Amino acid sequence: MRQPTQVEHLYLDFDGFFASVEQQARPNLRGRPVGVVPFAGTDRTCVIACSKEAKARGVKSIMRVNDALKLCPSLVLVPQSPDLYRRAHNALLCEIETVVPIDAIKSIDELACRVALADRTNPEGIAQRIKARIAANVGPHITCSIGFAANRQLAKIAGKLNKPDGVTIWQPSQMPEPLFQVALADIPGIGKRIDQRLARAHIGTTRQLYETSAKQLRAIWGNVTGERLWYALHGYDVASPPSHRGMFGHSRVLPPEARSLEGAREISRLLLIKAARRLRREGFYASGLGLGLSLSQNHWGEAYSLPVVRDDQAFLAALERLWEQARQGVQARAKVFKVSVVLFDLSAAQERQLDMFLDDDRERQNWERLSSLSDDLNMRYGRTLVSMGHWAPPAGGHVGGKISYTRVPDAEDFW
């Protein structure tokens, strides 16, 4: 495995992305503490993103609105605008691509680039050009923090150190001393469970982690991930393993007027249709459906096995069976705060295997053609023109296109 002698990777993290996009789009929010919330008109929810002005007053993401207002009474609560964030993301990518090729989009507010050979002696210049392009062509209120290092993992760690609007360069010749200033909990991949395992192995600092052998880290993690982390921390050019699609799902925090079993059921139907459309666009079938309900005191969830299918009729029929179970397992008057649906056990379209005991292939193909025709009509007109069953999005919309850190929504998610 190769150990670079120059910085070869860049990791870029936008600062308070959702809130800063709101400030760029709405001049009246600039310089004010902003908290982005799922929907307007209630304080019985949480702040899902906040601006640097709000963070300076102690507000954090995923903090209850009442708690945030106690810390910052002047906090401006702004309902989420997911389609605005999607458009901002795409515009920002275009500007960054004029300076350096993007290697991987890690989330809507993070990306990684491999630095070209000719640019490796001047990482400061790359960062300045990126920031200048964003300020001039998208807006100065959207800032980013950038890390440079020998590999992507180290670049990501470096990029978190000087937020907001910072640049951190870890030349291989300087390592590993700068790494030892980072808290163990700030190393990507070390969550609560791994932290407990490290503590049992008497590893409590980043220096101790660095000085542990690769084989020991593999044993602590229980798989090759620990060994890969060892090589990354030691500056080797570790290639990211290929990712594989495991599921298609959507969830939604319910507005107060929909926090009942029937309200959650109606929204779950819309979420499932959205997920099914994504599944078909990306060329998959599914043989499993999951439904989850977040209640005031606990969580209810069940899964249902399906033949290998991709049409709305099959998915919606299975969803109704899950709701029959939910009505038996959840009190009728229970408050449902969040509903989630997920399609899993995926098969690529070209790898579909039919069930020899299920004699419904002709009917299934008819339902698939009907779903495909619906998708084509909706695509042509850029909105939900045709759907199976009633289509009535809740107040605030965003069914399937909600704020997301891990997935960049498609334009189709907002139809």
Question: Is residue 343, in this structure, part of any structural domain at all?
Answer: yes
| Count of CA atoms in the C-beta half-sphere (13 A) of 200 | 11
Of 203, 250, 255, 235, the closest CA to residue 394 belongs to 255
Residue that terminates a domain, selected from 124, 155, 170: 170
Whether 377 is covered by a domain: the verdict is yes
Residue 375, pLDDT score: 87
The catalytic residue among 110, 227, 368, 412 is 110
What amino acid is encoded at 230 in this protein?
Answer: W
Beta bridge partners of 37: 79
Average pLDDT, 10 consecutive residues per value, the chain (415 residues):
93 95 96 90 82 94 92 94 91 95 92 93 96 96 97 96 94 96 92 93 95 95 94 90 81 86 93 94 94 91 93 95 94 90 90 61 82 88 83 64 64 70
Final residue of a domain: which of 137, 170, 203? Answer: 170
Residues 263-284 pLDDT 10s = 999 999 999 999 999 999 999 9
What is the rounded distance in angstroms from the CA atom of residue 415 to the CA atom of residue 385? 9
Are 86 and 206 contained in the same domain? no
Q: Are residues 405 and 259 in the same domain?
A: yes
| Strand pairing class (110-114; 102-107) | antiparallel
Cα distances (Å, whole numbers) of residue 242 to 100, 239, 270, 370: 22, 9, 31, 34
Residue 334 domain flag:
yes
> Residue 229 in contact with residue 189, Cβ under 8 Å?
yes
Query: Among 50, 44, 51, which Cα is nearest to 66's?
Result: 44
Give yes or no: residues 80 and 43 share one domain. yes
Is 10:113 a contact under the CB 8 Å cutoff? yes
Note whether 128 and 28 are same-domain residues.
yes
Cis peptide before 164 (omega within 30 of 0): yes
**From the CB of residue 246, how many other CB atoms can be counted at a distance below 10 Å?**
10
Question: Quick one: which H or E segment has residue 349?
Answer: none
Instruction: From 140, 120, 96, 99, select the one nearest 9 (Cα to Cα).
Output: 120
Instruction: Give which of 234, 217, 99, 220 is closest to 153, Cα–Cα.
Output: 234
Q: Which residues pair with 369 in a beta bridge?
A: none
Phi, psi of 370 (to 5 degrees): -65, -40
Cis amide linkage into residue 176, ω under 30° from 0: yes
Specify the CATH number for the domain of residue 148: 3.40.1170.60
| Cα 341 to Cα 318: distance, rounded to the nearest angstrom | 11
Give the span between the Cα atoms of 94 and 137, in whole angstroms: 10
d(CA 331, CA 411): 37
* Residue 2: inside a domain: no
**Where do we find the tokens 């397992």?**
329
- Alpha-carbon span 156 to 309, nearest angstrom: 39
Same domain (yes/no): 190, 309: no
Please choose, from the candidates 313, 407, 414, the residue with its C-alpha nearest in 3D space to the C-alpha of residue 108: 407
- How is residue 244 written in tokens? 């594989």
Contact call for residues 217 and 230 (beta carbons, < 8 A): yes
Per DSSP, which regions of 21-92 are E strands? Answer: 34-37, 46-47, 49-50, 63-64, 76-79
Q: Is 302 helix (H, G, I), strand (E, B) or coil?
A: strand
Q: Which of 211, 241, 271 is the last residue of a domain?
A: 241
Q: Which two tokens stand for residue 159?
A: 């990029």
Q: What CATH number is given to the structural domain containing 226?
A: 1.10.150.20
Answer whether residue 6 is part of any domain.
no
Residues 307 and 335 in one domain: yes
How confident is the model at residue 207, as a pLDDT?
96
**Do 303 and 392 lie in a common domain?**
yes
Q: Please indicate, yes or no, if residue 52 is contained in any of the structural domains.
A: yes
Smallest Cα–Cα separation from 126: which of 154, 159, 104? Answer: 159
Q: Is 117 within the bounds of a domain?
A: yes
Nearest to 276 by CA among 384, 121, 160, 166: 384
CATH number reported for the structural domain that contains residue 339 in this entry: 3.30.1490.100
Same domain for 393 and 260: yes
SS3 of the chain: helix, strand, coil, percent, to 5: 45, 20, 35
Both 53 and 151 in one domain: the answer is yes
> Per the structure block, which two tokens stand in for 248?
């298609």
Instruction: Please report whether residue 7 resides in a domain.
Output: no
Total domains, the chain: 3
Q: Which domain holds residue 136?
A: 13-170
* Same domain, yes or no: 90 and 222: no
124 is catalytic: no
Asked whether residue 398 falls in the same domain as residue 254, the answer is yes
Strand partners, 229: none
Looking at the fold, whether 187 and 309 belong to one and the same domain comes out as no
